Structures are given as C-alpha cells and as structure tokens.
C-alpha cells in the first residue's frame, strides 16, 4: 500500500511516498515558493533527482503537480492513505486520528495557537481530500505526544483563568520526533519501553528537549508556542518576560515587532550577527570569531541546563538522546553540551562521539551510568506508520 506523507507549510509542501508495511521510501520531495513568480519542485526517486521550476499559484495546483509527477493522475500509482503533519492539536488530540469534518474544525479552532502552521496544514488536508476523494486522510499532531505531561509541568504560574478560558499552557512540539527517538533508544538499550527513562534532545533549526518516562512525555521545553526553551537558530527560547515591556518603554517597540525579533532575529543568529546555521558558526568560531563562540557557548549551556533539569525531573535517566540536524551531525556540539556532567553519571566518549555523524550509535564511555545515544529522527516514517495503522488501507 502506498502512503503519502504531507507536510504543508505557508508556501511549501514537503512530501514522501512510502510503500507499507515494507517502509520503503519510493519518492521524497519538496515544493517551495508556492504563489511566487517561479515556484520550485524538487524530488528524488531512488538516487535519481528531478526538478521543475514554474509558477504554481496555490497549494491545490502544487499538490496536483506533485500527484501528476508521482503518477497518481495517470492511474499508475494508487494512494492508500494520506498522512498529514499538523503542528497544533491543543488538548483535543493525544494521538493520531482519522480526519473527519470535526477534526478539521478542531484544527481550525487551534489556529489561534499556531497561526503560521495550522492554516497551511489544514489547507493541505482540504486540497488532498479534494484531489484524492475517498482516500482516508490521517492527522499526526506535533503536540500529541506531550499530552501526557502532568499539570505541574504544563501549567504556567499565571492567573488560572488564562488556562481555563484561553488554553494558555505548555503544549510542546516535535512530538513525533521525540516519540520516535525515545522508542528507538529503548530498543537500542535492549530495555522495555515502560521501564526506560530518556532525555531526548531534538536539535535542529528549531530545538527542544523532552523528559520521557516509560515511553511517556513528562516535560518538554517548548511551550504554548515553539518559542520557549532552548536558544535556537533564530528563536530566543527562554527570556525574562519583563524584557518585552522594557523594550516598549525604552525603544518604543511594538509587540508585533518584538514577536518578530524573538522568533526570527534572535537565538544563534541574533547573538552571532552572522548566521543561524550551526555549520557556519562552527567554522567562524574556528577562525577566531568571538561572537560566534559566545553564541555557541550560550546554545550549548542552555541544552546542558535542560539536561540537568530533566535529570532531576526523572530521577533515573537511562540515556540522553541526540537527534535532528545538529544533534545527529555535530559531534563538537554534543561534546560541549555534555562535558562536565560525569558527576551526574553522564560521560561522553570523545573518540566515539567524534566518529559518529548521522548514524545510530552509543557514544558514552563504558563507565557512563547514563548512555549517550545518537538516533537520526525519522518523522516522515513515523507519520507513515501511524497513518498505515490508523487508516488500515486495503
Ligand atoms: P534541521 O532543522 O533538523 O534540518 O537542522 C538544521 C541545523 O542542523 C542547521 O543549523 C545545520 O547547520 C545543522 N547541521 C546539519 N548538518 C550539520 C553538521 N554536519 N554539523 C553541524 N551542524 C549541522
């Protein structure tokens, strides 16, 4: 059965076609710059790369072009189900669901919490339903895995009616990734998931840390929105909220501009003034750039603080797990984060760590009580598996 995984953004559609249950990837690709003068579709069939550059006016035209190129229009490929990545499910979705009109309404309702993400996700669902009538559509939510976080960890110490009336609480994101790598970690450790505690560090351009107890998320660093927590590529992560009124007072800044600053001009980019890209900053630091160094110091220190906090939250930790672009590929950043944690029982093996790029490995020293694992994330595969399980296509 062919499962199509879609991740629709504001001007992009990321897609991957799986053959299930074999889990083979048949096609993967990305359409970008939808609505602009020249849109771009790039995709790979096995090792063969293809691309098209032409104006694509909207998501419907974009998905139609993708389906044509996949051979769905000509009838040579039949899609059994479509799995959609949806960013915000609020408290309505603790697991993957078959999309019904009620589910669409709920995704629409949560758009206030994720104004940049949920509307394009919903558009992707509607367009797919229109172009593939009768094919089951499944929603996989970035927030779902974190619905097990207890109240003491998800409530903000704010007036309680902000929670009851407006849903202001911690939701957390990257759930599909944290779930996948925590399950994989238990397998690698040879332990039953229900008896395995891990701290998962999803370090990409967006980044978050999760405390996973017996397979369940019990705390996570992102909050109501993906802005909270770690210092990221362009997001500030945790800051003193009083900085906002301070900037209004002394600089006359408007909240909308502060919001843009915190989301797009802060983090690694803001501190370094150079780039949000880890590779560029490591290279600049090696050439003696002091701002690049301080940006990386802040970045690594903040991950370390969360590892310490979640070690306290969990008590016993069987592994610290690194994933996503930085976590999978950057040995120097992993080393920087975990250096000095031997008293907590976390000891990284420098040589093993340095030799591990983009593959699964245990990079802790033999003596380390807590293992240190690198696990490349497979969010699309996780969505395809859930879609196959929930839609049960013939
Ligand atoms: P993601 O959002 O998961 O695609 O991660 C993007 C981030 O991963 C960017 O900051 C990249 O610079 C970083 N990244 C990718 N490959 C490497 C690498 N080999 N070394 C360091 N950082 C990397």
Contacts of residue 220, defined as CB under 8 A and 6 or more positions apart, other chains included, come to: 146, 149, 170, 172, 173, 178, 208, 209, 210, 211, 229
**Tokens, residue 279:** 């590779």
What is the H or E stretch that residue 187 is in? helix 175-189
Q: Which helix (H) or strand (E) holds 199?
A: strand 197-203
Asked whether residue 76 carries a pLDDT value surpassing 90, the answer given is no
Alpha carbon of 319 to those of 195, 208, 364: distances in Å?
12, 16, 9
Q: What's the burial of 22, exposed, middle or buried (CB within 10 Å: 0-12/13-18/19+)?
A: exposed
Contacts 24+ apart (CB under 8 A), 282-290: 282/330, 282/332, 282/333
Section 308-334 average pLDDT: 98
140: which strand partners? 85
Share of the chain above pLDDT 90, in %: 96
Q: Is the pLDDT of residue 95 over 90?
A: yes
DSSP annotation of 19 reads: E
- What's the DSSP call for residue 193? G
Q: What is the pTM of this model?
A: 0.96
Task: Give residue 252 CA to ligand 1 midpoint distance, Å.
Answer: 36
Rounded Cα gap, residues 320 and 372, in angstroms? 5
Q: How far is CA 319 from the centre of its chain?
A: 20
Exposure on the CB side of residue 41, measured as CA atoms within 13 A: 23
Task: Specify the pLDDT at position 75.
Answer: 78
Query: Does 289 score more than 80 pLDDT?
Result: yes
Taking the C-alpha atoms of residue 251 and residue 248, their distance in angstroms, rounded to an integer, is: 6
User: Strand 207-213 and strand 197-203: pairing?
Assistant: antiparallel
Residue 73's pLDDT band, with cuts at 50, 70 and 90, is: confident
Residue 246 CB neighbour total at 10 angstroms? 12
Q: Where are the alpha helices (DSSP H) in 265-340?
A: 267-272, 278-286, 290-314, 324-329, 331-338
Instruction: Assess whether pLDDT exceeds 90 at residue 74.
Output: no
Q: Which of 275, 326, 337, 355 to mutate to test the pocket of ligand 1 (most atoms within 8 A of CB)?
A: 326
pLDDT band at 394 (very low <50, low <70, confident <90, very high): confident
Check whether 380 has a pLDDT greater than 80: yes
Q: Which residues contact 106 (CB under 8 A, 6 or more apart)?
A: 89, 90, 92, 93
Is 325's C-beta closer than 6 angstroms to any atom of ligand 1?
A: yes
Ligand 1 centroid vs 277 CA: distance in angstroms?
Answer: 7
Q: Which of 142, 323, 330, 336 to mutate to test the pocket of ligand 1 (most atoms within 8 A of CB)?
A: 330
Could you give phi then psi for residue 362, rounded to 5 degrees?
A: -100, 115
Is the shortest distance between the CB of 278 and ligand 1 below 6 Å?
yes
Burial of 101 (0-12, 13-18, 19+ CB in 10 A): exposed
Catalytic residues: 142
Averaged over 77-106, what is the pLDDT? 96
Average pLDDT rounded to a whole number, residues 314-343: 98
Ligand 1 binding pocket includes 275 (Cβ within 6 Å) = no
Instruction: Please say whether the beta carbons of 69 and 26 come within 8 A.
Output: no
With a 6 Å cutoff on the Cβ, whether 295 touches ligand 1 is no
Tokens linked to 26: 């048949």
Q: Which two tokens stand for residue 125?
A: 């669902």
| Pocket of ligand 1 contains residue 326 by CB under 6 Å | yes
């Amino acid at each position: 059965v062919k499962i199509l995984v879609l991740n629709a953004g504001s001007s992009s559609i990321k897609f991957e076609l799986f053959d299930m249950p074999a889990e083979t990837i048949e096609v993967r690709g990305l359409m970008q710059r939808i609505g602009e003068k020249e849109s771009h579709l790039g995709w790979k069939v096995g090792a063969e790369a293809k691309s098209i550059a032409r104006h694509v006016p909207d998501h419907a035209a974009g998905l139609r072009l993708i389906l044509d190129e996949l051979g769905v229009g000509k009838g040579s490929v039949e899609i059994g189900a479509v799995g959609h990545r949806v960013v915000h499910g609020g408290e309505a979705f603790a697991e993957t669901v078959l999309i019904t009109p009620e589910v669409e309404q709920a995704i629409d309702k949560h758009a206030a919490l994720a104004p940049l993400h949920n509307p394009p996700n919903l558009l992707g669902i509607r367009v797919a339903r229109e172009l593939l009538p009768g094919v089951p559509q499944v929603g996989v939510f970035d927030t779902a895995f974190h619905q097990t976080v207890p109240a003491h960890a998800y409530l903000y110490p704010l007036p309680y009616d902000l929670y009851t009336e407006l849903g202001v609480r911690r939701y957390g994101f990257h759930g599909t990734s944290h779930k996948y790598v925590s399950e994989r970690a238990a397998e690698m450790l040879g332990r039953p998931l229900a008896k395995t505690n891990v701290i998962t560090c999803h370090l990409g351009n967006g980044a978050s840390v999760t405390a996973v107890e017996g397979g369940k998320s019990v705390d996570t660093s992102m909050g109501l929105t993906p802005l909270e927590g770690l210092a990221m590529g362009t997001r500030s992560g945790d800051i003193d909220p009083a900085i906002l009124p301070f900037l209004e007072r002394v600089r006359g800044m408007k909240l909308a501009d502060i919001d843009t600053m915190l989301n797009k001009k802060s983090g690694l980019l803001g501190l370094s003034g150079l780039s949000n890209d880890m590779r560029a900053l490591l290279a600049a630091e090696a050439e003696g750039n002091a701002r690049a160094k301080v940006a990386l110091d802040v970045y690594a220190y903040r991950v370390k603080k969360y590892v310490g906090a979640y070690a306290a939250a969990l008590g016993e930790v069987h592994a610290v797990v690194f994933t996503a672009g930085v976590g999978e590929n950057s040995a120097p950043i992993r080393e920087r984060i975990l250096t000095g944690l031997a008293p907590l029982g976390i000891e990284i093996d420098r040589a093993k760590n340095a030799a591990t790029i983009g593959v699964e490995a245990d990079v802790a020293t033999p003596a380390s009580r807590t293992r240190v694992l690198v696990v490349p994330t497979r969010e699309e595969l996780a969505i395809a598996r859930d879609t196959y399980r929930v839609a049960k296509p013939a």
